Amino acid sequence: MKRRGFTLVELLVVIAIIGVLVALLLPAVQAAREAARRMQCGNNIKQLLLGVQNYHDTFMSCPYGARSRGTNGWGPSWLFAITPFCEQKALYDRIIPLEATHQYNAATLRVPAHNAKIKYMLCPSSPLPETQAFTATTVLTAPSYGGIAGATADGTNLVETRLSSGGMGGSGMLVPNESLTFAACQDGTSNCIVVGEVSDWYYAPGQTPARQDAGLSRDMGWVAGTNTNVVCSGTSQALTNANVANLVTIAYRIGMNDRTGADTNWASGNINIRGTQTPLLSGHPAGCVTGFLDGHVQLLTAQIPVLTLKRLAVRDDGNVVGDF
């Protein structure tokens, strides 16, 4: 009896068909995974927004974007201020007793947060390291998100005087050394960005190494805010990159990166990478996820006009925000 079976040619054809199907399906699978990661990123920002709102309900004002302690003393960041409202009260209660004798950049104060990986501070699409090692006993979460302190002026299109000479804005809702109520947001809570992503590598061909971490927590960690008591209200005192952490002022378009060929002189004006005017960057291919004061989350693409982005960062400029 003659046995039937696959010929070599038939087997190769079947394998080729399977290969084509897999090649067609892989992009769809990857797109679905990225959509899930982006949704998780949005949920993280929602939790941060909920923390800001609950803080406001409790203390009748938003948290300080960054706060100092006395003269040249490092105070807490807005991220630390909202931890009790983001299911991290146990961590908050362990750190607070230490602030009487330690600044917020001190290793002793940061020990309770050692190896505490706080998931809602991390974008799942970010290629950046999830932690920062300060000492052997202080390895802290490196947050993917920054508070929006405001925007820089843009000629006659956006007149803004609430800037320190170092380029830190004071026109947003999370500003240095000042707590604001929702009433201060005269443009409407649905038109004011509070949180944005800074969660991708920055590429600077003229620097070594060319690839740099754009994270805003710098060398201070997520618990620290600022060490100067300057308030961004037309003051002459500069807030340099060494003076503030976990805040960003909108000056450039989303995704502004030397990798795109749009070079910017980052080395001047105290706005270099990891500084006060670092652009919003993310690991998402479509744009950056942002959070608004009313609690809604929205993906903003790199195509949004920079003037529109700046107006969204300012709480009370009175200008009409176009489509975005």
For residue 316, the tally of other CB atoms under 10 A from its CB is 15
Note the pTM of the prediction, 2 decimals: 0.87
Q: Is residue 147 part of a domain?
A: yes
Residues 85-125: pLDDT tens digits? Answer: 999 999 999 999 998 888 888 888 888 998 888 999 999 99
Q: Decide if 155 contacts 315 (C-beta within 8 A).
A: no
Domain count across the chain: 1
Q: What is the mean pLDDT of residues 232-258?
A: 77
CA distance 146 to 123: 12
Q: Say which residues have a Cβ less than 8 Å from residue 124's Cβ, sequence separation at least 6.
A: 37, 40, 41
- Report which of residues 77 and 218 the model is more confident about: 77
Q: Is residue 235's pLDDT more than 50?
A: yes
Contacts of 145 (CB under 8 A, 6+ apart): 44, 45, 48, 121, 123, 195, 196, 197, 198, 199
Half-sphere exposure of residue 156: CA atoms within 13 angstroms, side-chain side: 0
Q: Is residue 2 part of a domain?
A: no
| Model pLDDT for residues 134-158, shown as the tens digit of each residue | 888 889 999 999 999 999 887 777 8
Residue bearing the bigger pLDDT, 307 or 208 = 307
* CA atoms 207, 208, 213, 218: torsion sign: negative
- Would you say residue 3 lies in a domain? no
What is the domain range of residue 62? 11-323
pLDDT band, residue 175 (cuts 50/70/90): very high
Residue 4 lies in a domain: no
**Shortest CA distance to 152 belongs to which of 172, 126, 122?**
172
Task: Strands of the chain (E only): list them.
Answer: 66-68, 74-77, 131-135, 138-141, 145-151, 193-197, 201-203, 211-213, 247-250, 288-292, 297-300
The reply to whether 50 falls in a domain is yes
Residue 6 lies in a domain: no
Whether 15 is in a domain gets the answer yes
Residues 182-195 have a mean pLDDT of 95
**252-275 pLDDT tens trace:** 889 887 665 554 444 343 445 667
pLDDT of residue 261: 52
Q: Is residue 256 part of a domain?
A: yes
pLDDT at residue 266 in the model:
45
